[in-house]
Structure 1
Amino acid sequence: MGDDGRGERLLRRVLAGCGAEPGPDWSVSVAGESSPDSASGLDADGPLRHAVRLPARAGVPAQWPGWVPDQVREAFVRDGVSSPWSHQAQAAELAHSGVDVVVATGTASGKSLAYQLPVLAAFTADPRATALYLSPTKALAADQLRAITSLGLPDVRPAPLDGDTPMDDRDWARRHGRLLFSNPDMLHRSLLPWHARWAGFLRRLEFVVIDECHTYRGVFGSHVALLLRRLLRICERYGAHPTVVLASATVADPGPFAGRLTGREVTAVTVDGSPSAGRTVALWEPPLLPELTGENGAPVRRAAGAEAARMLADLVLEGARTLAFVRSRRGAEVTALGARRVLADVDPDLTQRVAAYRGGYLPEERRALEAALVDGRLLGVATTNALELGVDIAGLDAVVVAGFPGTRASFWQQAGRAGRAADEALVVLVARDDPMDTYLVHHPGALLGAPVEGCVLDPANPYVLAPQLVCAAAELPLTELDVDGRFGGQPARDVLDELVADGVLRRRPAGWFWPSTSDRPAASVDIRGSGLRQVAVVEGATGRMLGTVDGTSAPATAHPGAVYLHRGESYLVDELDLDAGVALVRAADPDWRTDARSTADVEVARVLAQRDHGPVSVSFGEVTVTSQVVAYQRRAPDGTVLETVPLDLPEQTLRTRGVWYDVDQRALEAAGVDHDLAPGALHAAEHAAIGLLPLFAICDRWDIGGMSTALHPHTGRPTVFVHDGHPGGAGFAERGHAVLEAWLAATRDAIAGCECRSGCPSCVQSPKCGNGNAPLDKAGALLVLGVVLAALAEPATHRMRLVG
C-alpha cells in the first residue's frame, strides 16, 4: 500500500492492545484492489477478520447561485462556507425553483445548506414568508436552530417548537416565528389539531424541510407519511403550496422513497460533491471465552461493549479523538466506565477525558459534551446513536461501532463522523454475538461492497390508516378528492366504511366527519408505535411515570416479577393491568434478570401470493398471530435458570402480514431430517432467518417474529413463518418475500460460517425466543435450508395470486 496513514497506524495500536499485533510486512488492502471478501494476510485465529482502506475523495465546488441575496451569501462566508459544493448548489437550485427535492449524500456533506439557501432567500424576498423544519429528534432540531441563529441574519425569527418549549414561547412562535424547528410528534399533537390558531403561519408557508428522512420507516414511517399528507392538505386549505425539501443519509432509491413518504413526486440529488477523508475500515470479531457457556451450553464471545471499551482506551492513549457507538443508554455508560478503568491503570490523568453521551441528559449537559469533544478537551466518548444524526461533530480520528447498528445506512452514517481532510481515520465494526454481525464480519462484501438498503413503509396499512384518517377528519372533513388524491383511494375507502360502521366517523354527502366538536383524537394516537394503546410504567410509591411500553409487548417486558430497566436504573414490576394500561413498579437492584416464556400460533388468514418450486412452496399473505406469555424465568448473570414462575396473562392476537415456506416431508427425510429432528431444525432455521432479514430490509429483529412447526394445519407440511411484529404489517415480511432466495442463502452462510458446534447466539439462538431456545438443531437447519435453496433455484411450477 505504500506509506501507511493514520488509520492503519491506529489499527496497529488496537491490535497490539489485544496482543495481536501483525508483523512488519502486513498492510491494509486498498478498496478496489482486491475482492471485498478478501482477507489475505490476516491471522485466522485473531479477532481482525477484514481491513480495507477507502481512499480520500476531493470536493467539487460550485458557484453561489445568482438568486442568493448578498447578505445571505456573506453570512455563510463569515461562517466559513466560502462556496457551496456541487450537490448543495444543485439541490438548492431545484428547491428555489419550486421542485420538491431530496438530497441523499454522506455524513457531514453539508446537506443543511440545500434548504438554508432557498429558505433564507425566500425570507429576504418576502418578509412574511414562513418555513417549517421537521426532524426525528429534538437534539437535531436544536442543533439546526443554533446553526441558523449563528448566521446573525436579520428578521429570520427562528424558534423551537417541541415538547420542551414553554407555553409562552409557543405562543410567541405561533404569532411571530418564521422558521420553526419542530418534529412529527409536535406537528401531530399540537399544530394540526389546532390549525386554525396557526392559520397565519400556514397560509404563508413556503417550505417544509424534512431532515434525516431515512429514519421514517416501518410503522413510524407509515404514520409520518400520512401525517405529511395531513399537513399538506391543511396548507392547501389556507392557500399555501409549500415546496418540500428532504435530507437523508445515502439510501437506495431516495427519490421513490421520498415520494412514498410525502405523496408527491420528488427529485433526488445523490452525487456527493463534498470532500471525504480516507478511512481504514476494520471488521472485528471478539474471541470466544472458553471459561463461559451460555444458554443450553452455547459458547460465549467477549461482549462487543467490553471490546469497544478496551479499544476506546487504547485510542485515547494514542491521542486519537474517538467515538464509540453502542446500542443502549446503559451500554454507553458501561463502555465509558470500562475505558476509564483501563486508563486509570496506565495514565490516570486521561480518565477525565472520557465520557458517555446519550439521550436523557439535560440539553446543557449534551452541549457541553459536544463542545468538549470538538475542541479536544474530551478524547473519547461512548455514545448511543444520539450522535449519529445531524449534530455537527465530524473530523474525528476514529469511530468504534460496537455491534452492527441495524442498517448499512446507519453504519456509514456513524463511520462518517471520522475523518479529517489532512489525514485518514480508523473505523472499526465490533461484532456482537448475533447472526447479522457474524455474517457481516465473515462476508465483508455484504457491508463494504453492497449498496445501502431501501426504506420500507406502508401508508396503506389499515391499522395506521384508520387512526390517521380519524385525525384528518377531525381537522377538516374528508372529501372524495382527499381520499382519492391524497390518502390512497380504495384502501382508504374500505377503512372509512369500517369507521362509519363503528360510529367513529359519520358519512354525509360532502364527505366524512368527526362527530365531536370538543375533543381531538390525535392525543390518543401514538405515531411512534402501532397507533394502539400504550402501557404506562409508573413507580407505585411516588406515582412518577417512568415511561411507556407498547401494549403488544407489555406482557413480555412488564409482566409481574419482570426486571424493568429505565435510564440505567432497575425496577421490579409488581402489577400489570392491561385494561387500565398501567404497570406498577418499584426500585430494586436484583442480581438476576428475567426472560418471558410464551406460546405462539400462526393462522393463515389470506394468501396474497404463492409459488411452488417442486417440494417447496413459498407464500406471502395476511396472518393472525396468537401469543400468550405463560411464565418467566429468573436467570443469574451467567445465564443459569434460578426459577421458573408461571403467569396467568390473557392471550394476545395480532393481525399482520407474513412470509412462509413449507417443505415436503419426504424431501426433508431424503436430506437426513426425519420427523424427530424436524422441530429443532426448522426452529433453528427460523431464528437465523429472523436475525438476517435486517440485512435486506431496514428493520430490527425486534420488529419481526416467527414460528416454525413440523406440521401446520394450513399447509399440512413442515412450515417456517416470519411475520411483521406490527398490526397490519410494516412491509418487512413483504420485502423478505421479494428477496427470499438471497435472504435464505445469507442465512445458510451465517449458520455454516459460525465456529460453534451446536448453535449459539451468533447463529441460531435468539434473545427473544419464547421457548428458551429449545429445541434447536444447527446441523438440521443447514439441511433444511439446503433443500429449500435447491428448490428455489428451479423455476416455479405454479403461481397463484389472490387479491381482494
Structure 2
Amino acid sequence: MRAGRAADLLTDLTAPLTRRSCLTHVEVRPEREGRRGAFPSWTDPRLLAHLAERGITAPWIHQEEAAELAHGGQDVVLATATASGKSLAYLLPVLTAVGARELDVTARRATALYLSPTKALAADQLTNITALADGAGLHDARVAVYDGDTPTEQRRWVRRHATVVLTNPDMLHFGILPGHEQWASFFRALRYVVIDECHTYRGVFGSHVAMVMRRLRRIAEHYRAEPTFVLASATTANPELSASRLIGRDVQAVTEDGSPRSGLTIGLWEPGTRARVDGRGPGATADGTATDGAVGTRAAADGAELLDAELEQSGEHADGRDGGREAPLRRSATSEAAALLADLVERDVQTLVFARSRRGAELVASGSRRLLDQKAEHMLAPALADRARRIAAYRGGYLARERRALEDSLRSGELRALASTNALELGIDIAGLDAVVVAGWPGTRASLWQQFGRAGRRQDGGGGALALFVAREDPLDTYVVHHPETVFQAPVEAAVFDPANPYVMTPHLCAAASELAIRDGEEDIFGPTARELLDTLAGRGVLRRRPHGWYWTMTESAHDLTDLRGSGGEPVRIVEEASGALLGTVDAASAHSQVHDGAVYLHQGTSFVVNHLDVERAVAFVHREDPLHSTHPQSTSTIRIRQIDREVPWAGGVQLCFGTVDVTDQVTGYQVRDVYTQVVLGQHPLDLPPRTLTTKAVWWVMPRSTTDAADIPGEELPGALHAAEHAAISMLPLLATCDRWDIGGVSTAQHEDTGEPTIFVYDGAPGGAGFAERGADDAAAWVRATADMIGECGCESGCPACVVSPKCGNGNEPLSKAQAEVLLGLLHP
C-alpha cells in the first residue's frame, strides 16, 4: 500500500453521512528506522552467504543479542513486536549447530525441536526454515512437521532422520514423550528447544504446557542432553517471569526492538445504527430506522439488513432481545466488519478480518461476498463479482487440506480477503496485507496488537497500513472505543497461569511416571507440591511407591488423562449423516450449546441442522438445511463453595473472598426464534447430562442489612446482583489476560453457603486458570472500572453495552442497571 493510502481509506470508509461518527479515535504510528547489529562470528558461512544473496547483510540488534545468548547456552525469551524478525534470531544458532558436522566432522550431531501453538504457524515455519536451509546448502538440516496431520508412513522417517522437528505441545504430550524410546537418537542430540509465540500459553493451557516442558526437560536429561530453550513472544509484560514459569528455570529477556516499523494508522470504530432499505434516519416512521450507508445502494442495504438478521439469529449480536428487551439499533461488529470488508475488497485492499467466533468468521465472509455480488449486479460490474469470489473464511474445525489451501491462496494473493478466528492471529508470514479489521475485543491487549501487527508486514518504505478495531455492543468494547488510553497508553498484560494447579499437575505426574519412573529428588522439577501429590497418587493405587521412586501401575494410557487445552474432553466430530462426510469438529465444552439436537451449524457459508448429538461417541450428525429460524440454548448453573483460601473485609461489612468452588452447568433446552423478528416460535427441552467444574472463584458477600441500608429494594436486589455480575465479568479482561468467555459468574440474593447476597466470578477451567485470582488481587481497580463503565452508558435500563450479556443462560432476567450502580458503590473497599 502506498504512503498515505491508509488515511485515504479512512476518508473513503467514513464518507457516508451515517458513518462519520463511527470513528471515535485515530492513532498514527509513524514509520521507524531499523538499527543493525552484526552477525556473530560463529554463524555458518553458508548461511551468511545465502542471507547476503537475499539482501540481509546484518541482523537487527535484538536478533544479534538473542542469538548470542542462545549460542552461549543461556535460556532466552525474545519479546518484540510482530514482524520484527524473531525467527532469524533462533534460526542462526539452530541451523549453525545442525549443519556444523558438514564443516567439521569432529563436531557433535545436533537436533532442534520447534513448538508452536497452532498448526498454521508450524506449517508456515516449515516453508521458511526449509527455504533458508536449502538455499544455504545445509544438507544436514532435515526439516519436518510432526503433528496430527502427518501421515503414518512419514512419521517413522521423521523419528529416525529429521534434525529439525516442528510440532505443537499436544503432539509432544500425546505422540513424542510417551514413545521417547523411538526418538532416542533425536533426544541424545537435542541442542535447542524453540517455543514460538509463548505469550499464548496462558490460563489452563499455559499451566498444562508448563508441565509438558518439565517432562520434556526430564526426558532430555535421561538421554544426557542439555538443550537451550529459546522463546519468542509478542510484546508482553515481564516476559522473563512468564517464560521462566513456563519452562521451570531462569530465562533472560531481550526486549529492545531494533527492527524497522512501517507506518500504521489505527482507527477505533463504533458501528452505526441499522440500515433500512428506504434509507431513512433515526426519526423515521414505524417502518424505518437509521441507515448506515455502508455501500450506498438499495441492493447493498437489502444485503446488510439480511446479514443483520442472520447475525441476530446466530448469536453474533449481543443478545439485545433477550429477556424481552428491545433489540439495539446499533449494528453488530460482525455485520459492520462484513460491510467494511466489502468496501476494502472493492478497492482491491488485501484484508484480514478477525472475528470473535467460528460462526462470526463464516458470516463475515459470506456477508461481504453477498454485498459485493449485489453491488456488482446493480452496477453491471463483473470485476466486483470476481473479487467477491476471492473472499473466504478460515477457522479451527476445518480439515487440514482446507486450511493449507486457504493459507497458500492468501500468500499468493489469489485471495483478496480472509475472515478468520484467532487461528490466524499467530504465525503465518503473509507479506503485503494492507489492512486488518478486528471485529470485537480479542481478549487481551497483547492479542489486539498481535492482530493489528498482521497489517503492514511488507516493508514498502512508505507505510500506510490500516488497522481497525470495530466494537461490539459489549461493555468492554464500548469502554475501549471511548477510552483509547486503555489501548494506547496502558501496558500489555503479563501471561497468567499456574503450573502448581493440582488439577493440572496430577495427570502430568502420572504421564511422567509412565514415561520414566520418577526417582527420589526428580519430583522437584515439577514444583514444591509435587511430592505430596505423588504420595496421594500412590495412596490411591494409581502409582506404586518403591524405595527409589514412583511407578505407573495402570494398564490404560496415562496421557489420555490430560486435556491440554481444557476443552473438556474429546472433540466432537460434525458428520453429514447422508454422506458420512466429516465437516469439522467442535470442542467438547462447547458441544452441548453449539451442536445439540436441533441446533443450526454453519460451515463455509452452508447451513446444517443437527439431527442428533451422540454424547458418548462424541459425534453430531447433521443434514443440509436453510432454516428460517434460529436456536438459542438455555442452561442452569449452581455453585457451591468448597474452600475459602482468602477472605478480606471491606467497608460496610462486605467480604471479598477467593477460593475453590464447584460449578454445575446443564443445558436444559433451547428456544426457536424467527430469523427476522426474533419472535419466540417454540421451546424444546433437551436431555443432556450436567457438567460439574471444580475451579477457583472470587466472590463478594454483602450482608442484607448493608443492601437494605443502601435503599436497594428487596424485589430489585436479584436484578442488581445479576447486572453487577455481568458487568464485572465483562471488565475483568482489562486486568487479566483472559477473555469474557474464559470466565463465568453466578449471583444470588441468598446463597446457600453464605446465607447472604453473593456475586461469584469463576475461572472456566478445571482447577482454575489464574484469572479469578488476578481479579481478587486487584479487586479495587476492577470494581472501579466496572462502576465507571455502567455509569457512562447512556441507556436507561441496561443494554449490551453495559449489563446485558451474550452468554447469559437465564435470558438476561432479571436485570436492574440503576440498582447495580448502587450495589457497586458498596463494593468499594
Residue of structure 1 in register with 2:94 after alignment? 119
SS at the partner of 1:486? helix
1:294 and 2:321 matched: yes
SS at the partner of 2:681? strand
Matched to 2:5, the amino acid is: R
Offset at residue 195 of structure 1 (A): 0.5
1:348 and 2:382 matched: yes
SS at the partner of 1:644? strand
SS at the partner of 2:633? strand
SS at the partner of 2:827? helix
* Contact residue 530 and residue 727 of structure 1 kept, 8 A: no
1:493 and 2:531 matched: yes
Residues 514-569 of structure 1: CA deviation (Å, up to 9, x unaligned): 125x7532245321225656655555556666555555554444444444455655
Residues 211-233 of structure 1: CA deviation (Å, up to 9, x unaligned): 11111111111111111111110
**Bigger mean CA offset, 134-143 vs 365-374:** 365-374
SS at the partner of 1:676? helix
Residue of structure 1 in register with 2:27 after alignment? 52
Offset at residue 644 of structure 1 (A): 2.0
Residue of structure 1 in register with 2:343 after alignment? 314
Offset at residue 474 of structure 1 (A): 0.6
Residue of structure 2 in register with 1:149 after alignment? 130
* Contact residue 3 and residue 463 of structure 2 kept, 8 A: no
* Contact residue 17 and residue 311 of structure 1 kept, 8 A: no
Where does 1:360-379 land on structure 2 (aligned, <5 Å)? Answer: 370=407, 373-374=410-411, 378-379=415-416
1:169 and 2:154 matched: yes
Q: Give me the identity figure in percent.
A: 54
Structure 1 residues 421 and 127: CA distance shift in structure 2, 3 A: farther
Residue of structure 2 in register with 1:434 after alignment? 474
Residue of structure 2 in register with 1:66 after alignment? 41
Instruction: Decide which of 82, 103, 115 is 1:107's aligned counterpart.
Output: 82
Structure 1 residues 185 and 651: CA distance shift in structure 2, 3 A: closer
Work out the CA distance in 2 between the residues paired with 1:456 and 1:76. 38
Offset at residue 787 of structure 1 (A): 2.1
Work out the CA distance in 2 between the residues paired with 1:284 and 1:446. 15
**Bigger mean CA offset, 674-683 vs 452-461:** 452-461
Structure 1 residues 414 and 577: CA distance shift in structure 2, 3 A: closer
1:328 and 2:340 matched: no
Offset at residue 340 of structure 1 (A): 3.5
SS at the partner of 1:392? coil
Work out the CA distance in 2 between the residues paired with 1:628 and 1:362. 30
SS at the partner of 2:14? helix
SS at the partner of 1:175? helix
Offset at residue 333 of structure 1 (A): 3.7
Offset at residue 381 of structure 1 (A): 3.3
Residue of structure 2 in register with 1:680 after alignment? 719
Residue of structure 2 in register with 1:755 after alignment? 794
Where does 1:672-751 land on structure 2 (aligned, <5 Å)? Answer: 672-751=711-790
* Contact residue 537 and residue 545 of structure 1 kept, 8 A: yes
Residue of structure 2 in register with 1:502 after alignment? 540
Instruction: Decide which of 175, 184, 189 is 1:204's aligned counterpart.
Output: 189
Offset at residue 684 of structure 1 (A): 0.6
Residues 128-186 of structure 1: CA deviation (Å, up to 9, x unaligned): 21001111112211111111111223221111111121222211111111111111121
Where does 1:90-101 land on structure 2 (aligned, <5 Å)? Answer: 90-101=65-76
* Contact residue 330 and residue 567 of structure 1 kept, 8 A: no
Residue of structure 2 in register with 1:358 after alignment? 394
Work out the CA distance in 2 between the residues paired with 1:385 and 1:531. 20
Instruction: Decide which of 306, 329, 338 is 2:367's aligned counterpart.
Output: 338
* Contact residue 18 and residue 272 of structure 2 kept, 8 A: no
Structure 1 residues 166 and 650: CA distance shift in structure 2, 3 A: closer
Offset at residue 640 of structure 1 (A): 2.3
**Bigger mean CA offset, 300-309 vs 92-101:** 300-309
1:79 and 2:54 matched: yes
Where does 1:662-673 land on structure 2 (aligned, <5 Å)? Answer: 662-673=701-712
Residues 646-678 of structure 1: CA deviation (Å, up to 9, x unaligned): 344444332111001122334333434121111
Work out the CA distance in 2 between the residues paired with 1:98 and 1:695. 37
* Contact residue 192 and residue 231 of structure 1 kept, 8 A: yes
Residue of structure 2 in register with 1:241 after alignment? 226
**Bigger mean CA offset, 345-354 vs 684-693:** 345-354
Ranges in structure 1 where 5+ consecutive residues have no aligned partner: 22-45, 793-804
Structure 1 residues 543 and 324: CA distance shift in structure 2, 3 A: closer
Matched to 1:691, the amino acid is: S
Residues 74-118 of structure 1: CA deviation (Å, up to 9, x unaligned): 122223322110111111110000000111111111000111000
Residue of structure 1 in register with 2:119 after alignment? 138
SS at the partner of 1:288? coil
Work out the CA distance in 2 between the residues paired with 1:317 and 1:487. 55
Residue of structure 2 in register with 1:611 after alignment? 648
Offset at residue 343 of structure 1 (A): 3.5
Work out the CA distance in 2 between the residues paired with 1:205 and 1:767. 48
Matched to 2:702, the amino acid is: V
**Bigger mean CA offset, 532-541 vs 177-186:** 532-541
Residues 715-758 of structure 1: CA deviation (Å, up to 9, x unaligned): 33211100111121111111111121222222222222333322
Ranges in structure 2 where 5+ consecutive residues have no aligned partner: 101-106, 275-281, 283-288, 290-308, 310-319
1:657 and 2:696 matched: yes
Work out the CA distance in 1 between the residues paired with 2:419 and 2:606. 18
Where does 1:269-280 land on structure 2 (aligned, <5 Å)? Answer: 269-280=254-265
Matched to 1:92, the amino acid is: A
Work out the CA distance in 1 between the residues paired with 2:526 and 2:361. 41
* Contact residue 115 and residue 195 of structure 2 kept, 8 A: yes
Residue of structure 2 in register with 1:10 after alignment? 9
User: Number of aligned pairs?
Assistant: 761
* Contact residue 19 and residue 272 of structure 2 kept, 8 A: no
Residue of structure 1 in register with 2:806 after alignment? 767
Offset at residue 19 of structure 1 (A): 4.6
* Contact residue 398 and residue 584 of structure 2 kept, 8 A: no
Structure 1 residues 288 and 571: CA distance shift in structure 2, 3 A: same
Residue of structure 2 in register with 1:797 after alignment? none
SS at the partner of 1:98? coil
Matched to 1:627, the amino acid is: D
SS at the partner of 2:542? coil
Instruction: Decide which of 371, 378, 385 is 2:422's aligned counterpart.
Output: 385
1:515 and 2:490 matched: no
* Contact residue 31 and residue 463 of structure 2 kept, 8 A: no
Structure 1 residues 505 and 111: CA distance shift in structure 2, 3 A: same
Matched to 1:154, the amino acid is: L
* Contact residue 404 and residue 411 of structure 1 kept, 8 A: yes
SS at the partner of 2:518? coil
Work out the CA distance in 2 between the residues paired with 1:259 and 1:788. 36
Residue of structure 2 in register with 1:795 after alignment? none
Work out the CA distance in 2 between the residues paired with 1:75 and 1:668. 72
Work out the CA distance in 2 between the residues paired with 1:738 and 1:566. 42
Matched to 1:657, the amino acid is: K
* Contact residue 310 and residue 342 of structure 1 kept, 8 A: yes
